Amino acid sequence: MGLTIGALIDRAAAADPARVALVGDHVRLTRAELRQCVNRLAAGLLRLGIQKGDAVLLQLPNWAEFVYSYFALQKSAPRRSCSSPATASGVDHLCRLTEATAWIVPQAYRKMDYPSWIGAVREANPQLRHIISVRTQDEDANFTARLEELMARIPDARR
């Protein structure tokens, strides 16, 4: 079809904007609403400084935010985005291998306490400029941005 993954979201929303596209534990979104979330996050990532050619690690459980992030990364055109393993050594290895400049990660999920080892990964990878938290309950110095704020600050950017 010659379309990018980001363009597929736009095409689906234009064809049937009221059709349900995503049902999650906290949300139920139509195609038009999903496009708006994706566009807001893509614009927020660009505003943060993530640009074409950057590698971004995406480490989220099966949440709506994973969908927003995946498609937003496709629209903001990083060199690659990849799901990362759930261990400090695995993330560190992937950061070094991909030269990742950003990492999207929950503050906590089940028994995993990411903030306890984010600092060590960041220290070992000086190119890792942005650690974006998802569903953060409180302020944490390990994170440089919050996904929810990146989405909230940007007006709907229809592409």
Cα–Cα distance between 5 and 75 in angstroms, integer?
8
Sign of the C-alpha dihedral computed for residues 81, 82, 84 and 88 taken in this order: negative
Q: What's the CATH number where 75 sits? A: 3.40.50.980
Residue 20 lies in a domain: yes
Question: In the block, which residue shows the tokens 């979330």?
Answer: 37
Residue 158 lies in a domain: no
Say what the pLDDT of residue 52 is.
Answer: 86
Question: Where on the phi/psi map is residue 110: left (φ > 0), alpha (ψ -120 to 50), or beta?
Answer: left
Residue 126 lies in a domain: yes
Cβ contact 63:22 at 8 Å: no
Provide the β-strand partners of residue 58.
Answer: 83, 104
Residues in contact with 87: Cβ distance below 8 Å, sequence separation at least 6, in sequence order = none
pTM of the model: 0.87
Tell me which residue of 110, 116, 106 sits closest to 83, measured CA to CA. 106
Domain that holds residue 57: 5-153
Return the number of other C-beta atoms located less than 10 Å from residue 92's C-beta.
20
Residue 42 lies in a domain: yes
Phi, psi of 111 (to 5 degrees): -95, 0
Residue 159 lies in a domain: no
Cα–Cα distance between 53 and 79 in angstroms, integer?
4
Say what the pLDDT of residue 159 is.
Answer: 46
Largest CA distance in the chain: 46
Domains of the chain: total: 1
Residue 102 lies in a domain: yes
Averaged in consecutive runs of 10 residues, what is the pLDDT profile of the chain (159 residues)? 84 96 93 96 94 90 93 80 74 90 89 84 94 84 89 61
